[in-house]
Amino acid sequence: MPSVEDRAALRRASVRLDDRTVLHEIELEIGPGVTVIRGRNGAGKTTLLRALAGLIPLSRGTREVGDDVLYLGHRPQLHRALSAQENLAFFARYRGLSTDTIEPALRAWGVVDIARPVERLSAGQRRRASLARIDVERSAVVLLDEPFSELDDEAFTLLAGRITECGARGQTVVIATHGHQELAGYRTVRLDAGTLVG
């Protein structure tokens, strides 16, 4: 039985944004391992992940997710004035983790200039620096929204491998995507017009 720390659940959860119901009565429990949320553009995948992350309030229902959550959205979520190294050091210290893993993680993800302000990095390098948080923070619940966008083939392969490793380690990994057959084989949840369909 997974603990609250390593599972993510929504109970009869609805989300309304701009007077429109984006998620409707979602009943979902996700345990350790990799789960892929699929659906067309506008199906509500991003809203579902943001609801799990606690970034948007539920209009109905409850959210059951522990404190140790990593959410990586469409954008890198790094402070542009700071370097990749400084950004990751902040997150590591905030969570009470060692900063020794930061440089190896950034190197492993192919971030070339780890001391340069993030705003001077290319979009792909920023994305890689952001994904290196997966290795540094090793959170119990990892929520990834379209994580393969802006990645070249090398980074794509690297990320696919990391996702498998995280799942094997017992982390709860939830990925929202509209494509990528590379993620076939994992538990899949389908979302259509804000409703779970399978």
Binding site for another protein (CB under 8 A): 53-55, 67-71, 73-82, 86, 90-91, 93-95, 117-118, 126
Whole-number minimum distance, CB 180 to another protein, in Å?
Answer: 22
Q: Which is nearer to another protein, 137 or 193 (CB)?
A: 137
- The minimum distance between CB 133 and another protein, in angstroms, equals 8
- Class of residue 53 by CB neighbours under 10 A (exposed 0-12, middle 13-18, buried 19+): buried
Residue 26 has, within 13 A of its CA and on its CB side, a CA count of 36
Token representation of residue 103: 């440089």
By beta-carbon proximity to another protein, the closer residue of 67 and 165 is: 67
Bridge partner residues of 29 (DSSP): 9
Q: Whose Cβ is closer to another protein: residue 54's or residue 170's?
A: 54
- Residue 7's Cβ-side half-sphere holds a number of Cα atoms within 13 Å equal to 12
| Residue whose CB is less far from another protein, 55 or 197 | 55
- The least CB distance from residue 69 to another protein, in Å, is 6
How many CB atoms are located within 10 Å of the residue 182 CB? 14
Distance in Å, CB of 76 to another protein, minimum: 5
CB–CB of 21/193 below 8 Å? Answer: no
